Structure 1
Amino acid sequence: MPQSRDRLPKTHVIRRTIAALREAGFEAEADLSTETRSTAEVEADRIARQQDRVEALESKADRRAAAAGAAWNRERAAVEALPEGGEPIKVGHHSEARHRRAIERAHASTRAAVAAENAAGEAAARAATAARTTGARYSVQTVANRIEKLGADIRRLERQIVDDTYDPERGYRPATEEEKARRARSAAPRLGELRDQLAYWEGVRAEHIATGKATNHSRETIKPGDAVRIRGHWRRVVRANAKTVSVETGYSWTDKAPYHEITDHRSAGGDAA
């Protein structure tokens, strides 16, 4: 099943698949496990696999670069074999066939060299992209956004456990303790997975803050009138909200940004840009 590595079983997909197989006359059974590796183990394995991929792509790029160099050498030799000075083909002369073959070899070698150069460039670009992947995954902005999403997912699941139940006859009613317990058991594997992921990425975020890669601003440190740097631009603070900061735009409206997007800060009494 696509995207199933280190994830809980997609039971709804598996159930539909089994039903379809049985309907088609096949015997199908499922033996599912909800045990997953810790996020730390998953991420370490992911980084190792990505490093192997980078090394493989870099080796491929080196091979294609060498092939392109050899192709250009053949192209140069083929061009140098042509008559000097762009001598025209002597139609009917005994040299005509040899001359035409030399031109075709030169054209073919040029096309091959250009194709080899393009292939080498593509391989180098793929290797460079792969080398940046892990860094992008662990960037300050990406980690902070991931923490926000994981927290939202956890809160949504927790709300679903205690949400009201819809009764076709009476409409919505408070869920019974038995219903809540059943929902909690059903949601437990996913909640455990999400909480483990959240703890891991919060550790990464804490390291970013400790090493100075990330700031740790909130409404306690940001006040109206302060200047903050967001996405490379300095903005004057209008309001410090619970999770976001409202800043001037130079127009009649304000923009909002989460606190983790603030990369620099100057108090209202400081030397603000």
Structure 2
Amino acid sequence: MGSIKITHGLAEGTLVHGTEQGDGTGKILGGKGGCGFRFSRNLGAWYLPHSRDRVSKSWVIRDAEQRLTAAGHTVTVEIDDASPGRNFAEAEAERNERAETRAERYGSRGVRAAQAGEARWARNRERASHIPMGQPILVGHHSERRHRNFLRKLWRSDGIAVKDMQRGEYWAARAAAAEKYKDRREALPTTLRRIEKLDAELRSLDRRLAEAAERAADAGPDGRADRLRAFWRRLLRREPVPVPDSPGVVRLRTTREQTAGQLAYWRDHVARLEAEGAKVWGPADFSKGDFALHRGRWFEVIRVNPKTLTVPWQHYMFSLKVLTVEAATKAHQSGGRLNTDRFPYDDVQGRMSAEEMTAKLAQPAEPQAG
């Protein structure tokens, strides 16, 4: 059995070196029921998907090490979660570039498959045109076998043509999705939701680091109160927390640094969008009685909340383009409390005051074309 080395770094991800074809490592690392690795011809090694720019998945590495050792291999593990990896902006630029490459590759596949299917279909129709329309199979005639064989081959060929055209549609859809990858990822509502999630993750990491520091202070011989006071002063100033360099704490600290970097990047992106004219809506922009544009329709604001707007229940709207509290009350047939909906500020596309909406509704409706 050979000597196998499992390495992990933020820039390279988790890799397995030293395997050979036929040594049985394929079933352990990437087979059905394996450890989840994949083999890369470009790298010449097994890699763990989605492990770049992230801390190590120790449980996966430990599982792979135990399985390989049980199979008779000599395994060494090197994990480096402390060394800085790529800048998040560099990684994001690489992801966008790869999406463009995927769009070109998928588009070419779709065109080739669609052209092949259409050509085969046209060729089949030309072949079938030699048989008069409605011509039945003459049972017992000398042409019966030839006619049946022709129809069977034509049916099989038509099936191949349809599959080719369906494959062309599939790859065309994949290409369209890859083309929109960057726009969708950098859209303002998506970015705002991502920032909120990253901010929550950062607070969670700070709490976990604080708990680790408190446990370290409890383990010390003396000076616990002084260390805790110093720790909380540093935490409130967002300073790095000095905690023991155990593997788990190293992963926490590295994850916090990466999360903070992502948060800064996306906040800068939002600032650029605002400089270009985009609007980030918030509680200060609305008051009770205003109207908010939500997915193409206007809703009267019943209550302004810190993270959401309360509006009448959207099912009251039916075919209306403007839903007021008065219209919702009339549509509320069961009586009692008026049902309401809430939607976040990142899902708001516009604002109109009550006076502006009154003037808008007073205008005559524009005649529809046709």
Using the size of structure 1 for normalisation, the TM-score is 0.82
Shift of 1:74: 1.9
Residue 357 of structure 2 corresponds to residue 271 of structure 1: yes
Closer, same or farther in 2 for the Cα pair 1:86/1:258, shift >3 Å? closer
Query: Over residues 51-98 of structure 1, what are the superposed CA-to-partner deviations in whole Å (9 max), with x where a residue is unaligned?
Result: 11110010011101110121012211220232x253344444443333
Superposition deviation, residue 16 in structure 1: 4.7
Distance in 1 (CA, whole Å) between partners of 2:338 and 2:226 is 47
1:40 to 65, 71, 89: 89
The answer to whether 1:181 aligns with 2:228 is no
Higher relative contact order (CA 8 A, sep 6+): 1
Decide which of 159, 167, 190 is 1:142's aligned counterpart: 190
CA–CA distance in structure 2, aligned partners of residues 90 and 63 of structure 1: 39
Which shows bigger deviation, 14-23 or 235-244?
Answer: 14-23
8 Å Cα contact 1:6/1:37 also seen in 2? yes
Match of 2:210 among 156, 159, 162: 162
The alpha-carbon distance between structure 1 residues 175 and 127, as it changes in their structure 2 partners (threshold 3 A), is farther
CA distance in 2, matches of 1:141, 1:206: 13
Q: Paired residue for 1:215?
A: 279
For 2:69 and 2:153, locate their aligned partners in 1 and report how far apart those are by CA, in whole Å. 61
- C-alpha change, 1:36 and 1:92, in structure 2 (3 Å) is same
One-letter amino acid of the structure 2 residue matched with residue 203 of structure 1: D
Shift of residue 175, structure 1, vs aligned partner: 11
Report the Cα distance in structure 2 between the residues aligned to 1:17 and 1:87, rounded to whole angstroms: 65
- What's the offset of the Cα at 1:215? 2.0
Q: CA RMSD in A?
A: 3.1
Distance 1:217 1:115, change over 3 A: closer
Matches within 5 A, 1:8-157: 8-19=55-66, 21-22=68-69, 26-34=73-81, 35-82=84-131, 84-157=132-205
With over 3 angstroms needed to count, the CA separation of the structure-2 counterparts of 1:74 and 1:25, relative to structure 1, is same
Q: Which shifted more, 137-146 or 58-67?
A: 137-146
Counterpart in 2 of 1:170? none
Of 14-23 and 43-52, deviating more is 14-23
8 A contact 2:291–2:357 mirrored in 1: no
Measured in 1, the distance between the counterparts of 2:160 and 2:253 equals 59
In the other structure, the counterpart of 1:224 is: 288
Q: Distance in 1 between matches of 2:59 and 2:150?
A: 65
Moved over 6 A (4+): none
Deviation at 1:239, TM superposition (A): 3.1
Q: How many residues are matched?
A: 266
CA contact (8 A) 1:226 1:237 kept: yes
How many angstroms apart in 2 are the aligned matches of 1:239 and 1:105? 68
Distance 1:64 1:137 in 2: 29
Task: Decide whether aligned partners of structure 1 residues 85 and 44 sit closer, same or farther in structure 2, where only a CA change above 3 A counts.
Answer: closer
Contact 2:311 2:340 in 1 (8 A): yes
Which one of the candidate residues 265, 270, 274 is aligned to 1:200? 265
Q: Could you say which structure has the higher helix fraction?
A: 1
* Residue type at the aligned position of 1:220: A
**Distance in 2 (alpha carbons) for counterparts of 1:241 and 1:90:** 78
Question: d(CA) in 2 for partners of 1:136 and 1:252?
Answer: 36
Structure 1 counterpart of 2:342, which letter?
A: K
Q: Identity over aligned residues, as a percent?
A: 34
SS at match of 2:302: strand
In 2: Cα distance, 1:87 partner to 1:192 partner: 75
CA shift, 1:264, in A, is 0.4
Q: Deviations over 1:158-198 (max 9, x none)?
A: 12223465x9xxxxx98964996316963321111001101
Partner AA of 1:207 in structure 2? R
- 8 Å Cα contact 1:81/1:102 also seen in 2: no
Unaligned runs of 5+ in 1: 168-172
Aligned letter for 2:243? R
| TM-score, normalised with respect to structure 2 | 0.63
Q: Which amino acid aligns with 1:104?
A: R
Measured in 1, the distance between the counterparts of 2:181 and 2:111 equals: 20
Equivalents in 2 of 1:216, 1:264: separation in Å? 10
1:176-229 Cα offsets, whole Å, 9 max, x none, are 6499631696332111100110111112222222223x4222232222222112
Structure 1 counterpart of 2:135, one-letter code = E
